[in-house]
Amino acid sequence: MTETHDIKRILVCSAVGGVGRTTITVNLAALLAKENLNVRVLDADLQFGDIAMAFDLHPTRTLKDAAERKDIENILFYTMNHESGVNVLPAPDRPEYAELITTDFLISISEKLQEETQFLLIETQAGLNDLNIQLMETADLILVVSTPGMAALKNSKLMIETLELLGLKDKTHILINKFTAQTMISQKEIPELTSMEKAIYLPFTDKQIDHSLDVGQPFVTTHPKAAFSKELKKAASQFLNLNKKTKPKDKTGFFQSLRLKETGQGG
């Protein structure tokens, strides 16, 4: 299993659309930024990326402009800062521009963005394709998001089986989003339905999460005490694999421990 301090690049993907990739990427970024960790988000959902919208950013420059100018060196010029501290490289604003962005260019961009930052979060388009697989190969951690319905779970399982064939399963976690007490499928069935021994469950949160996407404020910022926010924070501590043995003895939280690791002060 990857050690916490090795995790710099987190990929958020899914087999099917509409499961919560954007919600999870934006909120995870906001959680890390809230703790003064340096976070960048690359919106690699090239046709229908929503990250800028979810942060209520109105970009004048996007990945499309960088691709047209083949500008890797000055990539930060195309990014925008959200008031949370998260730095965003937006996807093109129209689907037809997606084809201007080659896989090689995107991979080079992601490497450049990763310089001088503690975490790079990347949201992909739903499904498996050449670009997504290359992004998976270069990620330190792959988060596969699913909802608890049979169709989404079946396709998530196929995706995970593919990741296993590619030798990428060890760095993969599954997040079952929009889980409720009424969900027909029980947590006991999830390992068999997904091919993953353990899953992280994020609760369904009524209309409030929709609202946070509409107003461009991360839900974890506006509703830090809500079950979704608490579970996501707990999940982050789990998949960033905070090692109890290296945890500082005082009462610092897991984010503080991460900072200490990043600055070389941790155990």
Ligand X SMILES: Nc1ncnc2c1ncn2[C@@H]1O[C@H](COP(=O)(O)OP(=O)(O)OP(=O)(O)O)[C@@H](O)[C@H]1O
What is the Cβ-side half-sphere exposure of residue 60, based on CA atoms within 13 angstroms? 1
Select the binding partner of residue 209 from Mg ion, ligand X, none (C-beta < 5 to 8 A, by kind): ligand X
Q: Which run of H or E residues covers position 104?
A: helix 103-114
C-alpha–C-alpha distance, residues 71 and 108, integer Å: 10
Among 178, 223, 233, 259, binds ligand X (CB under 6 A): 178
Q: Is 181 exposed, middle or buried (0-12, 13-18, 19+ CB in 10 A)?
A: exposed
Judging by DSSP bridges, how do beta strands 39-44 and 87-89 pair with one another?
Answer: parallel
C-alpha–C-alpha distance, residues 201 and 204, integer Å: 10
Nearer to ligand X among residue 127 and residue 191 (C-beta): 127
Stretch that binds ligand X, among 21-29, 129-137, 233-241, 259-267 (CB under 6 A): 21-29
13 to each of 127, 134, 187, 251, how far by Cα in Å?
8, 12, 21, 34
> CB of 51: closest distance to ligand X in angstroms?
9
Residues 199 and 48: beta-carbon distance below 8 Å: no
Can residue 43 be called a binding residue for Mg ion (CB under 5 A)?
no
Can residue 202 be called a binding residue for ligand X (CB under 6 A)?
yes
Among 7, 12, 13, 21, binds Mg ion (CB under 5 A): 21
Binding-residue pattern over the window 64 to 103 for ligand X, x denoting contact by CB under 6 A: ----------------------------------------
Among 15, 41, 50, 84, binds Mg ion (CB under 5 A): 50
Can residue 132 be called a binding residue for ligand X (CB under 6 A)?
no
Can residue 209 be called a binding residue for ligand X (CB under 6 A)?
yes
Can residue 177 be called a binding residue for ligand X (CB under 6 A)?
yes
Nearer to ligand X among residue 19 and residue 141 (C-beta): 19
> CB of 25: closest distance to ligand X in angstroms?
8
Nearer to ligand X among residue 235 and residue 242 (C-beta): 235
> CB of 126: closest distance to Mg ion in angstroms?
8
DSSP-derived letter for residue 180 is -
Q: Which of 83, 23, 10 is nearest to 50 (CA)?
A: 23
Select the binding partner of residue 193 from ligand X, Mg ion, none (C-beta < 5 to 8 A, by kind): none
- Token readout for 224 is 């830090």
What is the Cβ-side half-sphere exposure of residue 12, based on CA atoms within 13 angstroms? 30
Can residue 22 be called a binding residue for Mg ion (CB under 5 A)?
yes
Can residue 233 be called a binding residue for ligand X (CB under 6 A)?
no
Q: Is the dihedral of CA 91, 95, 100, 106 positive or negative?
A: positive
Residues that bind ligand X in the complex, under the rule CB under 6 A: 14, 17-23, 45, 48, 50, 126, 177-178, 202, 204-205, 209-210, 213, 228
